[in-house]
Amino acid sequence: MTFSLARPSTIVEALRLLADDTEGPTAPLAGGTDLLLDLDDGRSTARRLVSLDKLPWKTLAWDGPRLNVGATLPLARLGSDATVRARLPGLSEGVDAVGSLALRHRATLGGNLGRAAPASDLLPILLAVDATVRLVGTAGRRELPVARFLRGSRQVDLAKDELIESVSIPEARLSTYVWQRVRPANDVSQVGVAVARSGSSASWRLALGGVLPVPTRIPEAEVHLTEERPRPEDVELAANAAATHARFVTDKRASEAYRRRLVATLVRRAVARAQIPPGER
Amino acid sequence: MTRSDAALKLRGGAEYGIDLEAPGMVHAVLVPAPVAAGALRSVDLAAARRAPGVVAAIGPADLAALLPHGGDPDRPVFPSTRILYRNQPVAAVAAETLAEARAAARLVRVDVEATPPLVDIEDRYPDWPTGLASDAPGVVAHVHARHGNLDAAFASAEFVHREVYRTSGIEHVALEPHACLAEVRDGHWRVRTTTQTPFGAREDAAEILGIPAESLEVEGTWVGGGFGSKGAAFLEPYALVLAAASGRPVRLAFGYRDEFFQGRSTLPAVIRLETSVRDGTITGRRVRLLLDTGSSLPGRDFATGYAIGFLLGPYRIPAFEVEGYAIQTNKPPFGPHRAPFAPQCVFAIDSHTDGLARRLGVDPVEFRLRHVWQAGDRTAFGQEVGPFGAIAGLERARTTVAEWRRTLPPGTGIGVGVGFWSTSTGAGGEVRLRLTPAELVIEQAEHEIGSGSIVRGLVAVAERLFGLPTERLRVVTTSTARDPYDSGVFGSRTVAALGRAIEAAGTAMLARLAERAKAKGTATLTVQDGKLAVGIGARSIPLSELLSAEELRDGLVVEGRHYGRSGAIDPSRVVEGSFYAYTDFTAAVHVAAVTVDRETGSVKVLRYAAFQDVGTTIDAGMFRGQVEGGVVMGLGSALTEETLWDPDGRMRNPGLLDYRIPTIAEVPEIEAVAIEGFPGAGPFGMKGLGEPPIIPVPAAVANAVADATGARVLELPLTPERVARALMVD
């Protein structure tokens, strides 16, 4: 693995470097916890990395009912924020599920979004709370829902000369993220389920991860979850709908049949858990 | 506990394989076979030889010129006709830098006429192979034994409990990958390497290279974990032929992925068990074992006959028949992994035993107490059982089970597993003691592999033998050119076998000193006025008065050896193949408490207790370290660790992301209890402890899961998905 490393101090310089492939394929580098593995395995052909560590994006701020998370804020800082845990418990739980604490000191929310891994532990909750991603590029700034930003397995709507600047996340005190793994700690989730209900929405939103090709909301399940405290029979309908309508694959981490069964179980658990105050979970 | 290596290791001063360097050193890379099976048509090295920085690029055709006698025809350094597993090294390149060597290795063109590989033994033998000849294609070993009237036992049984167990391949996951540095100069072949067996690696490498063992010198380094992976020669022959070809010192080091690709560990098996019962007692057993032996060669299977012993003990079985086949597949060769294959066999047999007890409505611990060996019993192969702590361990386990039933929450499953082992002192060991007025030096061949057996175990034995303080004892290791012979750090033998050699040398040394002092009575060593002295009765004589001028300079040297003896098995019970006798009988009785998530199948281990039959505790800290380490490693085999293979012979999880060893978050509180008073083969009656603590772990966990759920999981590891599937069936 050989690459050159650029560390621009301004956004303009970073975008200019990203657009310039004369030194070989170029890629942005945030925490590097995913990209460096790909480089080591030859899955990434990048020869120049543009580090974002000097950009002013390690930020965390509330703007009324929305949380703005800078793209390069280490996940460990997001996970240890008490206000986030109270107002967006599902996000904190997603962060807790990413790798190990040591890894979370490197990994970032922007990197997790940009890399768009099928088994990401953060994308399901970002989908369930209807977060938006703010992009900056040579052509200017734009903002779009995470659901539209994700295009497919490891594919996102991001131009070559464009970067994730921040993520805007609406408060959702009723939210949670639950997962299943072969090994509880430091493993890739076989299935992850996020549910959330925010003030304005007519129903709960529900999103699945670990179910290829990309984390996805399941509207067929959400329609059963209109009540703030859904009745057990509605939860059952939602669980079965999620298990029916999601696409499942068999891979080295789990069989299709097991994933299907897990989805139903985890939907039931997620809806129940989301109604428990964060401090009592 | 005093670990003399602790400060050195904490400061990063210990030299491991990857740290080795020499002036003019070049870097080597192995060229992997691109498919798992096929006929090798050609290996074209021309482009690699022209690549920048390359000093040598060699393949099958180059061996004859490099090796004076052509090497071992059965085990060529590079294959010349047939590819046996994916990534099998078919050529090697050495270059000035590692990057250049890697780039050149990619230029080697390997032309193979691929054939469909055999990856899963059950693809070839979906049913038990009947009447399969021992020399049938793909059969590497066949073992068969019987005793008593099994037909009658089955005919008169109230029922026969029949089950089929499956176990998975596992890897060693030593922290340190393999690495060595080889030099060949004036017919002197020398390799510095990270090895559990300097002499074993020398003999093995010399045989592969076809050179006399005396012309090869192996010098060990500190070893960052062995677990059986660093036994026989592995990287050394490749590095040595490259050194011969290039005339330069050659470093060859594996990356972590290579460790998985090259394997040499436990592979999958199918174990069929049938046990007949009458009046609550086991009357007979039929065992059939199909063992995936990877690309092991005929005559090189060590596991099959050995494993079968674990399927017939440690319980009294009046009549039995066992038959096992080792089947060749297109995977790396089977190799030893901490207590080779014993945890898998004990998982099968002690799950089976536990299930039998439950089927009979008898408490599983009581059922084991009714059947378990005690001194004076005979093993299935007719060997008399020596002092054995299983009953004592089971009685402790019974108390623990009762206490946990009272104190742990309802729904907790509690299971017991019983394993046994034998200290492998049968393989020889020698030491050289060197006594000066300043200290007693123990010169021997083994390097510390992490357990503490060398830096602490041998010192602890010497402390107890001579009554000397730690700081007057020192263990020294150099290389096979100077050290006394020893057969290796394996089989839980190190402290037992070398300890007995120290005992033999020490006894001779003390006798000689007593003779020189013209004294009657037993001599001891003491410290007097800061110097070593000889104590005889009430007298104390400074060593300086008893040693010659030469000895005062070089030390009084006395050698000692221990070539232990196994008991004998009854040959009339053997139909075909090799079975093993034991030197001693070591019990391990473990208790696990688990909760099972009935919907997801996740198993959480809450508590763990290990009752270990140690003979005598030599060092309490080492005891705790070995038991905790063995239990944690066993929890990995029980719950999460398995190698996965694609049908084309490609390993699907060659890394620590999807090959899951336990993290500290999965490790419960472990209670480690020594059972003493049943002496074994080592000094002071100690028994080896490197392997026994891993053996019953998968069984104890599986039995706890069965206790919690009523469902029996018949396959290792007990991943959530397997447990969930077992619960659905029930």
Closest Cα in chain B, distance from residue A72 (Å): 24
Nearest alpha-carbon partner for B497 in B444, B450, B452: B444
Closest Cβ–Cβ partner in B652, B666, B725 for A183: B666
CA–CA dist B372, B365 (Å, integer): 10
Cα B195 to the chain's mean position, in Å? 13
- Interface contact A252-B658, CB threshold 8 A: yes
- Interface contact A2-B99, CB threshold 8 A: yes
Contact of A182 with chain B, judged by CB distance below 8 Å, is answered with: yes
Q: Which of B660, B661, B664, B715 to mutate to test the interface with A (most CBs of A within 10 A)?
A: B660
- Mean pLDDT, rounded, for B9-19: 95
CA torsion sign, A265 to A267 to A268 to A274? positive
Write out pLDDT tens, residues B26-42: 999 999 999 999 999 99
CA–CA dist B342, B345 (Å, integer): 5
Find chain B residues with C-beta within 8 A of A261's C-beta: 599, 724
- Interface contact B602-A255, CB threshold 8 A: no
Closest Cα in chain B, distance from residue A261 (Å): 8
Nearest alpha-carbon partner for B339 in B492, B169, B564, B493: B492
Closest Cβ–Cβ partner in A2, A180, A183 for B663: A183
- The answer to whether residues B412 and B439 belong to one domain is no
Strand order in the sheet with B159-167: B159-167, B269-278, B281-292, B319-327, B139-147, B574-576
- The answer to whether residues B673 and B540 belong to one domain is no
For residue A119, CA distances in Å to A110, A124, A248, B209 come to: 16, 9, 12, 48
Question: Considering only alpha carbons, which residue of chain B is nearest residue A265?
Answer: B599
Helix (H) or strand (E) holding B198: helix B198-209
- Mean pLDDT, rounded, for B304-322: 93
**Which pLDDT score is estimated for B131?**
64
Closest Cβ–Cβ partner in B600, B640, B657 for A262: B600
Q: Which two structure tokens, joined as six digits, stand for B492? A: 């839980």
- The answer to whether residues B382 and B492 belong to one domain is no
Pairing verdict, β B139-147 and B159-167: unpaired
Closest Cα in chain A, distance from residue B168 (Å): 14
- Mean pLDDT, rounded, for A29-37: 95
What is the domain partition of chain A in residue ranges?
A: 4-51, 60-170, 174-280
Find chain A residues with C-beta within 8 A of B664's C-beta: 185
- Give every CB contact of residue B431 below 8 A, 6+ residues apart in sequence: B442, B443, B444, B484, B486, B498, B501, B502, B505, B559, B560, B561
- The answer to whether residues B207 and B64 belong to one domain is yes
Question: Where in the sequence is the domain holding B42, given as residue range(s)?
Answer: 17-116+195-215+227-243
Query: Of chain A residues 2-21, which have a CB less than 8 A from chain B?
Result: 2
Beta partners for residue B73, in sequence order? none
Q: The domain that contains B74 carries what CATH number?
A: 3.90.1170.50
Find chain B residues with C-beta within 8 A of A3's C-beta: none
Q: Which of helix, strand or coil describes residue B169?
A: coil
Beta-carbon count within 10 A of A147 CB? 18
- The answer to whether residues B411 and B434 belong to one domain is no
Nearest alpha-carbon partner for A130 in A112, A110, A149: A149
Lowest mean pLDDT of B103-117, B136-150, B488-502, B639-653, name the range: B136-150
Closest Cα in chain A, distance from residue B120 (Å): 16
Write out pLDDT tens, residues B155-211: 999 999 999 999 999 999 999 999 999 999 999 999 999 999 999 999 999 999 999
Question: Considering only alpha carbons, which residue of chain B is nearest residue A262?
Answer: B600
Q: Which of B97, B721, B727 to mutate to test the interface with A (most CBs of A within 10 A)?
A: B721
Asked whether the domain spanning A174-280 has the same topology as the one spanning A60-170, the reply is: no
CATH fold group of domain A4-51: 3.30.43
Nearest alpha-carbon partner for B629 in B338, B267, B404: B338
Closest Cβ–Cβ partner in B639, B644, B721 for A254: B721
For residue B455, CA distances in Å to B2, B196, B432 come to: 9, 14, 16
Question: Considering only alpha carbons, which residue of chain A is nearest residue B719?
Answer: A182
What confidence category does residue B518 fall into, taking pLDDT thresholds of 50, 70 and 90? confident
Is the separation of the CB atoms in A18 and A163 below 8 Å? yes
CA–CA dist B106, B113 (Å, integer): 19
Instruction: Note whether residue B456 is domain-resident.
Output: yes
What confidence category does residue A278 fall into, taking pLDDT thresholds of 50, 70 and 90? very high
Nearest alpha-carbon partner for B643 in B332, B429, B433: B332
What confidence category does residue B130 fall into, taking pLDDT thresholds of 50, 70 and 90? low
- The answer to whether residues B525 and B595 belong to one domain is no
Is the separation of the CB atoms in A97 and A181 below 8 Å? no
Closest Cβ–Cβ partner in A183, A252, A254 for B653: A252
- The answer to whether residues B231 and B84 belong to one domain is yes
- Interface contact A184-B666, CB threshold 8 A: yes
Pairing verdict, β B523-528 and B319-327: unpaired
- The answer to whether residues B659 and B601 belong to one domain is yes
3-state secondary structure chain A: CCCEEECCCCHHHHHHHHHCCCCCCEEEECCCCCHHHHHHHCCCCCCEEEECCCCCCCCEEEECCEEEEECCCEHHHHHCCHHHHHHCHHHHHHHHHCCCHHHHCCCEHHHHHHHCCCCCCCHHHHHHCCCEEEEEECCEEEEEEHHHHEEECCEECCCCCEEEEEEEEECCCEEEEEEECCCCCCCCCCEEEEEEECCCCCCCEEEEECCCCCCEECHHHHCCCCCCCCCHHHHHHHHHHHHHHCCCCCECCECHHHHHHHHHHHHHHHHHHHCCCHHHC
Find chain B residues with C-beta within 8 A of A254's C-beta: 721
- The answer to whether residues B355 and B449 belong to one domain is no
Instruction: Note whether residue B170 is domain-resident.
Output: no
Q: Does CATH place domain A174-280 in 3.40.50.970? A: no
- Interface contact B602-A180, CB threshold 8 A: yes
Q: The domain that contains B634 carries what CATH number?
A: 3.30.365.10
Find chain A residues with C-beta within 8 A of B719's C-beta: 182
Pairing verdict, β B319-327 and B281-292: parallel
- The answer to whether residues B348 and B373 belong to one domain is yes
- Interface contact A258-B602, CB threshold 8 A: no
Q: What is the architecture of the domain spanning A60-170?
A: 2-Layer Sandwich (3.30)
Is residue B1 pLDDT above 60, yes or no?
Answer: no
**Which pLDDT score is estimated for B134?**
66
Is the separation of the CB atoms in B429 and B499 below 8 Å? no
Q: Which two structure tokens, joined as six digits, stand for A4? A: 């050159």
- Give every CB contact of residue A121 below 8 A, 6+ residues apart in sequence: A94, A95, A97, A98, A177, A179, A189, A192, A209
- The answer to whether residues B93 and B234 belong to one domain is yes
Is the separation of the CB atoms in A123 and A100 below 8 Å? no
Residues in B whose CB is inside 8 Å of some CB of A read 99, 599-600, 602, 604, 639-640, 644, 652-653, 657-658, 660, 662-666, 719-721, 724-725
Nearest alpha-carbon partner for B26 in B256, B244, B257, B259: B244
- Interface contact B725-A185, CB threshold 8 A: no
**Which pLDDT score is estimated for A249?**
83
- Mean pLDDT, rounded, for A1-30: 94
Beta partners for residue A216, in sequence order? A208
Cα B371 to the chain's mean position, in Å? 28
Find chain A residues with C-beta within 8 A of B663's C-beta: 100, 183, 185-186
Cα B718 to the chain's mean position, in Å? 22
Burial A171-208 (b: 16+ CB within 10 A, else e): bbbbbbbbbbbbbbebbbbbbbbbbbbbeeeebbbbbb
Instruction: Note whether residue B325 is domain-resident.
Output: no
- The answer to whether residues B598 and B725 belong to one domain is yes
**Which pLDDT score is estimated for B100?**
97
- Interface contact A185-B666, CB threshold 8 A: yes
CA angle A229, A232, A238 (to 5 degrees): 90
Is the separation of the CB atoms in B502 and B433 below 8 Å? yes
Contact of A226 with chain B, judged by CB distance below 8 Å, is answered with: no
What confidence category does residue A41 fall into, taking pLDDT thresholds of 50, 70 and 90? confident
Instruction: Note whether residue B2 is domain-resident.
Output: no
Is the separation of the CB atoms in B229 and B172 below 8 Å? yes
Beta-carbon count within 10 A of B172 CB? 21
Question: Considering only alpha carbons, which residue of chain B is nearest residue A188?
Answer: B657
- Interface contact A183-B653, CB threshold 8 A: no
Is the separation of the CB atoms in B691 and B339 below 8 Å? yes
How many domains are contained in chain B?
3
Find chain B residues with C-beta within 8 A of A273's C-beta: none
Higher pLDDT, B298 or B400: B400
- Give every CB contact of residue B515 below 8 A, 6+ residues apart in sequence: none
Write out pLDDT tens, residues A47-69: 999 999 999 999 999 999 999 99
Instruction: Note whether residue B483 is domain-resident.
Output: yes
What is the amino acid identity at position B530? Answer: G
Beta partners for residue B592, in sequence order? B415, B608
Instruction: Note whether residue B132 is domain-resident.
Output: no
Nearest alpha-carbon partner for B264 in B166, B333, B217: B333
Q: Which two structure tokens, joined as six digits, stand for B96? A: 């000035």
Closest Cβ–Cβ partner in B99, B604, B720 for A180: B720
Q: Which two structure tokens, joined as six digits, stand for B563? A: 């070539």
Find chain A residues with C-beta within 8 A of B662's C-beta: 183
